[in-house]
Chain A
Amino acid sequence: QQPVQSPQAVILREGEDAVINCSSSKALYSVHWYRQKHGEAPVFLMILLKGGEQKGHDKISASFNEKKQQSSLYLTASQLSYSGTYFCGTSPLGIQGAQKLVFGQGTRLTINP
């Protein structure tokens, strides 16, 4: 079952904040977040495991709400370099060892000067 990302697209001015959500109808073991710039390969951002943890580096952080089976990616004081399409990839409970991810449809983030 493909996770659902929201919003599908967002346009910000440099310095503004953004939140991208990833929801699943299945119980999850982990959520991966990747960013992809146009014409390039996806680049890893972070992984969250079940247990409701929160992670972050620089001005990008994420949380995992196990009760809601939802992860949120937070981009604070956005920079031009944050532009791209953000994908979440989810791994259901029971096959965590294989990292057999199911990806959402993506959220396109545009940062304007």
Chain B
Amino acid sequence: NAGVTQTPKFRILKIGQSMTLQCTQDMNHNYMYWYRQDPGMGLKLIYYSVGAGITDKGEVPNGYNVSRSTTEDFPLRLELAAPSQTSVYFCASSYPSSGTDFFNQPQHFGDGTRLSIL
């Protein structure tokens, strides 16, 4: 039972480069999320999705893009990487599509991608 899988685990980028962080889940969850966590800080929501084809901005969306073409996958795209985007990125999912307790669903996190931009 894989849960939420993120790739890559580590990456170093140069300023101005682009990359895609991959996230896939096998729990048939409708909701998926991308967070960033700066050292010693809490989680900040970047983007989230309530289902395939539906995405919306979170607290800190600038410099990022997402797409959701399938229930399983929710990739995060960084265009023109900047040093301020150095962080640990977590993907999460929640809310089984057949769940009966709509408002009481925990978020399941992947292991994170540690990204440094130099």
A residues near B (Cβ < 8 Å) are 2, 29-30, 32, 40-44, 47, 49, 87, 89, 96-106
Query: Is the CB of B111 closer than 8 A to any CB of chain A?
Result: yes
Contact B45 A97 (CB under 8 A): no
Find chain A residues with CB under 8 A from B103 CB: 29-30, 49, 96-97
Query: Is the CB of B43 closer than 8 A to any CB of chain A?
Result: yes
Secondary structure call for the A interface: mixed
Query: In whole angstroms, how far apart are the Cα atoms of A32 and B33 in the complex?
Result: 15
Contact A87 B110 (CB under 8 A): no
Query: In whole angstroms, how far apart are the Cα atoms of A59 and B103 in the complex?
Result: 25
Query: Is the CB of B27 closer than 8 A to any CB of chain A?
Result: no
Give the Cβ gap from A52 to chain B, nearest Cβ, in Å: 15
Contact A98 B48 (CB under 8 A): yes
Contact A102 B45 (CB under 8 A): yes
Find chain A residues with CB under 8 A from B74 CB: none
Query: Is the CB of B24 closer than 8 A to any CB of chain A?
Result: no
Contact of A42 among B41, B43, B105 (CB under 8 A): B43
Find chain B residues with CB under 8 A from A102 CB: 45, 59
Interface string of B98-114 (1 = CB under 8 A from A): 00001111111111100
Query: Is the CB of B95 closer than 8 A to any CB of chain A?
Result: yes
Query: In whole angstroms, how far apart are the Cα atoms of A104 and B44 in the complex?
Result: 9
Find chain A residues with CB under 8 A from B108 CB: 44
Give the Cβ gap from B66 to chain A, nearest Cβ, in Å: 14
Query: In whole angstroms, how far apart are the Cα atoms of A96 and B95 in the complex?
Result: 12
Find chain B residues with CB under 8 A from A41 CB: 90, 109-112
Query: In whole angstroms, how far apart are the Cα atoms of A49 and B93 in the complex?
Result: 19
